Chains A and B, each alone.
Chain A
Amino acid sequence: MNLHLPDLPIQWSNFIKVIEKGKLATSFFNSLIYSAGSVILCVLFAALAAYVLSRNQTKLNKFLYMFIVLGITLPINYVALTRVLQFLHLNNTAVGIILLYTGTQLPFMTFLIHGFVAKVPVELDEAAVIDGCGPVHLFFLIVFPMLKPAIATSTVLTFLNTWNEFVSPLYFLNRTEQWPMTLSVYNFFGMYFKDWNLVCADILLTSLPVLIVYLLGQKYIVSGMTAGAVKG
């Protein structure tokens, strides 16, 4: 291996070979489904929970918030999780993986949005309630639009985290046609570890979505990752 620039013409055929041999199209769509599914579920439920638990700080709600946020530190017991998934018949299914991802991402995203809900003035809610707005309309029509920056941040972060996630598929997806991109690239590396041209092409294609999201959403990523770390 050396650091010469590649000779011209550039070998585009590597990418085509990798897409075919590494079954990248399938794993790309798998990753996309897993990430998109968990982004929607996680952001929606995290926003709902953060909103209620921040606005109505009863003793029970404070406890429930702590309980959810405690998940940031807790390890997942993957071994016992197989039992839960078996019981729910979700082993080796996309739904199982999506719910699992959602569960692991919820604590941090709830924490992130919770800090933001406090900044949305309560007077808005009061005005809406006086005008006869019900709780569901109040949240979706009045508060949710105000939470846009936090929603954007948690969307980007959940997408990145789930796209890069590798452990859960390793435990819970046995069939290659269900694998996300990270697992496929690792497997590909195992088979073609001598063909660095192919491995690098595979790595590049796998990282591309993440890099694009990073470049487009840099602002949101930084603000999300530093949320709660710095006193404003």
Chain B
Amino acid sequence: MNRNKVYPRYFALGALIIYFVFFFLPGLIGVGYSFTDWSAYSDELHYVGFENFKTVFSSDENYMKIITNTLEFTLITTILKNVIGLVLALLLTKSIRFLNMHRGIVFMPSVLSTLIIGMIFKSILDPKSGLLNSFFRSIGLEMLAKKWLVSSELAFGSVMAVDIWRGVGYIMTILIAGILSISSDYYEAAAIDGAGGWKKFRYITFPLILPTLATTTVLNVIYGLKVFDMVYALTNGGPGKATTEVLYTAVFKKFGTGQYAVGTALSSVMFVIMIFVGIYMIRVMTKNEVVE
């Protein structure tokens, strides 16, 4: 059987062309435009060398803050989603009542629009009329009624908390699948040897779901670095100067003000980093590809 004849390569052309033109190509030419003075104000393009990158990495602008914010968001949400997701997954693989309903409810926010969740939480976290603060006041805990999204100390934490709430069900679902794929023989053997709940987790469950945890970490990191909807809906980068600004909200603002070159330079920094980091991440993901 001639494989090249039976499986002709032109079958893959449609996917390759659309993916290349509408996804990869903008990334490539974006790197090129980063070296120009492209903006909404003039039709001419001039080569400006590393000028845009100097702006992006200079200390007197807010851009470094944006980059560290993005990294902080990614790090914290990744860790907490994994930890909370794992705890929930352990709880929801026990034999309890209405198991599927519980799983379904925790997972539900993952299918809703992030933007809509952001809008709902914006109202819940409203300092004056929001549900959360009204609740605290009604049970006499006035001091817990904080300015969740409008004070510069709390805003970023609140944004991350909402995002963790939204994303944890997805991570939990993956981890549940991981836990369920562990053979029950191990647990039976451990029980005979007298291992308790903690020891079973420490020496059986945890080591055996490490590959799954690696995948959830990769997924979380990819999501965190690209986060936009949630921040846009909750704070749009505010309050004050770039308190919760992340990379993609900054790029959108540069686009809105017509500073295309700086916007594309910011995007390109991430694009180039992700090409190299992404290959390792994809290796982690494809290594576990299900072949049953």
Contact = CB atoms under 8 A, between A and B. Distances in A.
B129 A75 contact: no
Given A75-B226, A211-B111, 6 more contacts: A1-B126, A78-B251, A80-B26, A164-B113, A166-B113, A214-B108
Contacts, number: 266
A56 B248 CA distance: 38
Contacts of B5: 135
Interface in A68-104: 68-84, 88, 99-100, 102-104
28 contacts: A45-B14, A45-B18, A61-B9, A70-B279, A73-B282, A76-B26, A78-B251, A106-B23, A114-B289, A118-B289, A125-B1, A129-B6, A135-B5, A135-B8, A139-B11, A160-B111, A164-B113, A170-B252, A203-B120, A207-B112, A207-B116, A222-B177, A225-B170, A225-B174, A226-B174, A229-B178, A229-B288, A232-B290
A211 B282 CA distance: 30
B267 interface: yes
Contacts of B178: 229-230
Interface of A: 1-3, 41, 44-46, 48-49, 51-53, 55-56, 58, 60-61, 64, 66-84, 88, 99-100, 102-104, 106-107, 110-111, 114-115, 118-119, 125-126, 129, 135, 138-139, 160, 163-164, 166-167, 170-171, 182, 185-186, 189, 196, 199, 203, 206-207, 210-211, 213-214, 218, 221-222, 225-232
B173 A53 contact: no
Interface in B20-43: 21-27, 29-30, 33
A31 to B, nearest CB: 11
Query: Which label, helix, strand, loop or mixed, suits the secondary structure of the B interface?
Result: helix
A64 B15 CA distance: 10
A45 B173 CA distance: 28
Interface residues of B, number: 86
A111 B22 contact: no
A173 B271 CA distance: 24
